[in-house]
Amino acid sequence: MPMATDAALLRTLWLASPALPVGGFSYSEGLEAAVDAGRVHDEASAGPWLVDQLLLGPARSDLAVAAQAITAWRVHDLDRVRELNAWVLHTRETSELRLQAEQMGKSLQAWAQSLGAFGAPVLQALQAARLEPPTWPVASACAAAHGDAPVREALVGLAFGWAENMVQAAIKAVPLGQGTGQRLLAQLAQAIPAAMDEALALGDDQRQAFTPMLAILSARHETQYSRLFRS
């Protein structure tokens, strides 16, 4: 089934692409505040920060939600979809992180609408779920669910898309060079398999959004004097 395999891979790459018009490039998820506070200031400090953020943040929250949401979308369990979406909304630790989840989710729905017939299945599924509003982990899971990629492969794509956005944020905010950015991306790529193991293993009673230092930095970022990013 090479054509089906190619289609699944291409959809995964598409959702991971920085060109996807959901606004991911405009967020640093607290990294810019970490730079302002002097916690991240060069390659040596940026690498561990981003890897820790992946393993302590998305792996335990958004990627775990996306893994469960992909399955829920594929079996048309809209009650489960709404439950996961509500969890995301209720566990954002700052207002700007919640706004990020909402804006990117709404933009994913607008992206599906812009594709016409090609995006219609995703758009119809999101509208049928009546998510108010759709969040990024759940909306992106909907788009991934309409491809044929296994859940883990779809999740790897979403994780790599997050990694690319964060590395670009580090390049701009620290600032760092492109070569440094590639080394940071290599570190994140090495960490992604373990993050996938974590995300796929977590049940509802284990999933969490608890990163106190990042929450403090994000709250400070909301009133930071000078900034490039929306979070």
Q: Taking the domains of the chain in order of start, what are their residue ranges?
A: 46-221
CATH level 2 (architecture), domain 46-221: Orthogonal Bundle (1.10)
**Separation of alpha carbons 76 and 6, rounded Å:** 25
Average pLDDT over residues 195-211: 95
| Residue 149 DSSP class | S
Report how far apart, in Å, the C-alpha atoms of 96 and of each of 79, 122, 152, 195, 223 are. 27, 26, 29, 24, 11
pLDDT tens for 172-201 read 999 999 999 999 999 999 999 999 999 999
pLDDT tens for 84-130 read 999 999 999 999 999 999 999 999 999 999 999 999 999 999 999 99
Place of tokens 């992106």: 140
b/e code 71-82 from CB counts within 10 Å (16+ = b): ebbeeebeebbb
